[in-house]
Amino acid sequence: MPLLVMKFGGTSVADLGRIQNAARKVKREVARGYDVIVIVSAMSGKTNELVGWVEGTSPLFDAREYDAVVSSGENVTAGLMALTLQEMDVPARSWQGWQVPINTTSAHSSARFVSIPREHIDAKFAEGFKVAVVAGFQGVSPEGRITTLGRGGSDTTAVAFAAAFDAERCDIYTDVDGVYTTDPRITDKARKLDRIAFEEMLELASLGAKVLQTRSVELAMRYKVRLRVLSSFEDTDENSGTLVCDEDDIMESKVVSGVAYSRDEAKMTLVKVLDRPGIAAAIFGPLSEAGVNVDMIVQNISEIDEGGDRRAVTDMTFSCPVNQVPRARKAMEDAQASGAINYSELVQDTEVAKVSVVGIGMRSHAGVAATMFKALAAENINIKVIATSEIKISVLIDRKYMELAVQALHDAFELEKA
C-alpha cells in the first residue's frame, strides 16, 4: 500500500472546524488508496501560551519540565484529529512521540532525531488502521524523558517520518498555497512557483522565508524526500502547491528563483584589531560560545604607525540577529578584558536588513551580481556588506529601504514571469 505523510500546521488545526477540514483532506487521500501518517502541530497560539505558563511559573525553569509542558499542545491536537477521523469512519489512531517511539538526543528544546522505528505503526496498518496521527515537535531521549525539537519542529518531524517510512511524498499544509518568488505582502508581482530545488528552498528558508523550517529542508534534501507545500484552506489536487524536489526533477531553472529578506539584522564592527595568526578564531570562538549566530563576515586589513613601527590591523565586520547584539558585545568586551583580542572600538548598527537573491541557475550564468547592484544603485540604496555563495548573493542595507530593495530586485530579475 503506498504511503503518504501529511503535516498540518497550527493555523490549519486552530479549532475544531479547521481540524474537521484537515480530516476531510486526509480522508480523501485514504479514498485514493493511501495509508497516511498525519503529523500535527499544536493549535495556533497554544505553544506560546504554554511557554508563557512555564516562564510565569519558573523563570529559571528545568528544561526537562519545559519540554513536558510545551509538547502537550501537539498531544491534544493528535487526539482530536484521530477522534475526528473516526467520526468520519476512517480507522485512525493517535501517537505521542514516546509511543512510536521517536528517538532523539537529550538536548531539550533543540533535540535531533536518532531513529524512528517502523514496527509499531506498521503493525497498526497491518491490522487495518488507515491513518496514524502523530504529535509533531516531540520525541523521547535515551533517558526516557520527553524532548522537543525547537520551533518549526513539526515540519522536521513530517520529513523524518517520510524518510523513515519511504513515503511517496510529504505534503506540508499551511496557510499559504505554495512557495512564492518573494513575500506577496511586499509586492503583488510575487509569483507562486510550481517547483523549486532543495538547495534553493534551503537558502530561502535560512535567509528568512517562513514557509518551511530550515532543518526540514536539510533533511528532505539528504534523504530525497519530495515535499509539497500547499494550502489547508483551498481545494487542492495533484498539481496544487509547490513541489520541493531534486534539481534533476526541474527541466529548466531561471537564473534567480526568489528574493528573500531578513528584517531584524545587526552589523557589528571591531575597529583596528591588532592582526596576527589566529585572530579570527579569537574573535569568533567567544561569539560561538556565547550563542551568537554570526552570518556575514567581512575583513579589511591595513597598517598603522606606532612610534615608527608599522603594525598590521584589521577591521572585522560581522552580522547577527539584532536581539543577540548585547550578547555579542559582552563576548567581545570579555575577550578584550582577558587579553585574547585587542581592538580600539566596537561599532554597532542595529538598523539594517539582509536582502538576498537565490537561484541554482546562478551556477552557469554570469552577471547576476552586476544586475543586483545596478538595481539597488538605481534606487539609491547603499550596500554595507556583501556575501556570496554558489547560488545566492546577500547584501546588508539600511532597514528602511528593505521593501524597496525587494521590489526592485524582483523587477530586475523579472521574477513575475514564468
**Binding site residues for substrate, as ranges?**
47, 74
State the cell numbers at 154: 513539526
Please state the residue numbers annotated as binding site. 7-10, 47, 74, 174-175, 180, 185, 210-211
In 3D space, the residue among 296, 134, 139, 158 whose CA is nearest the CA of residue 217 turns out to be 158
C-alpha cell recorded at residue 261: 529578506
Residues in binding site for ATP? 7-10, 174-175, 180, 185, 210-211
Ordered alpha helix ranges (H), 315-356: 325-338
Closest alpha carbon to 125 in 155, 98, 95, 97: 95
Q: Residue with C-alpha cell 497498526?
A: 124
Do residues 43 and 10 make contact, with C-beta atoms less than 8 angstroms apart? yes
135's grid cell = 504529535
- Within 8 A by CB and 6+ apart from 14, the residues are 43, 44, 45
Query: Counting Cβ atoms within 10 Å, is residue 226 exposed (0-12), middle (13-18) or buried (19+)?
Result: middle
What residue type is 27 in one-letter code? Answer: K
Helix (H, G, I), strand (E, B) or coil at 141: coil
